[in-house]
Amino acid sequence: MSFKEIKNMLRMINIDMNDIYAYRLFKECDKSNNDRLEEHEIEEFCTRLMARPELEEIFHGYSGEDCVLSAEELREFLRDQGEEASLQRAREIIQMYELNEKARQHDLMMLDGFTMYLLSSAGSILNQAHTGIYQDMTQPLCHYFISSSHNTYLTDNQIGGASSTEAYIRALMKGCRCVELDCWEGSSGEPVIYHGHTLTSKILFRDAIESIRDHAFKHSPYPLILSLENHCGLEQQSTMARHMKVILGDMLLTLPLDGDTPKQLPSPEQLKWKILVKGKKLPDDKSDSERGSFTSSHEEETEEDEDERSANSLQEIKPLQAKDATQISRELSDVVVYCRSVPFQSLARALHHQQPTEMSSFSERKARKLIKESGNLFVRYNARHLSRIYPLGLKMNSANYNPQEMWNAGCQL
């Protein structure tokens, strides 16, 4: 493998490493000096890659000159750490984490097994008894802070960074419960996801949904929200709806749980294992076209357009497809149930007229203004509705705002 291939391998296994350090390791392992690593050299590279000198020091402190931990020596280590220090417990750890079969048979632990143990959840400083859910999860969804991601598909900066389905996998495996999909018209009738009006790369909407399906509930059983930023025409909106229905199947929530418009949002417990779509919704009026209906392009302008224009004014990048969704497909509208995006006019109006299933998005600047001028009303609003606060478009390096002041006002997303 060349150094370029080694870097690709590291990227595939989610290792973000300084190029200088990686190249130094590469050269140290290249015994043949031909700028390539052969089989045994690749194995040595991976071993050095995982080396933890501080753990080696601890291991040798207890194992002595033979560089092997006996069950008795492991028990001594456990005792010094304040852990359960019986000989039986030491043997159980060896059987669970030791990689060498012969060592396991003799109740011995090598350095690799010791490292595996310390880097596992059993070696974590956090008591694993505290990782279980103990909070009351039967309150309305708006009563919880929700781990959220903005422009989830990007792996780098907001202007020219790469888009990847891997970014969705990483977010979901870290416990994220709201991911964003910026959807644009693609070729061959397939919608794509990318940061519109920029040089970021594109991924297929279908591929992103497949990755979401495979990883949505690996970290948490509680509901996942797909926040759609929709710039597609009617035909590709319908394609998006079909992809979600076919790929997500029963995971996708398409009807209210009780069959009627609720007086409050359902709880995370009720929504376990379900995927919710956040987007615009057509009124339930039979006089509307079955295909789609116009929305007010002025009032319901794409949530982030104002900030995006500010960011894009700093660059001369022309949009390849500047088609904003001034029409909503009936098929796409029908998959929106509990997270209907509506334009925000005022807190007074929202508190009296907005339904629990309706929510609004605010820029961080707008949210701070509401907190400063109408803090108590904003808290009351968030007690009944979901609100999503997105970072300013000027943050091109993908930096986030400090969410603490938004949390203090009860903002969930």
Buried b / exposed e along 284-308 (16+ C-beta atoms within 10 A): eeeeeeeebbebeeeeeebbbbebb
Strands 178-184 and 224-230: parallel
The per-type count for the chain, helices as H runs and strands as E runs, is 16, 12
How many Å apart are CA 277 and CA 256, to the nearest integer? 12
Distant-in-sequence, close-in-space partners of 117: CB < 8 Å, separation ≥ 6: 93, 96, 97, 109, 123
Least Cα distance to 151 among 92, 203, 100 occurs for 203
DSSP for 259-312, please give it: SS--SSPPPTTTTTT-EEEEE----S-TTS-SSEEE--TTTT--TTHHHHHHHH
How many Å apart are CA 355 and CA 340, to the nearest integer? 9
Q: Which residues are catalytic?
A: 150, 195
Strand partners, 276: 225
How many Å apart are CA 67 and CA 188, to the nearest integer? 61
Q: Tokens 């001028």 label which residue?
A: 373
Least Cα distance to 97 among 59, 135, 131 occurs for 59
How many Å apart are CA 54 and CA 196, to the nearest integer? 46
294 phi and psi angles, rounded to 5 deg: -70, 140
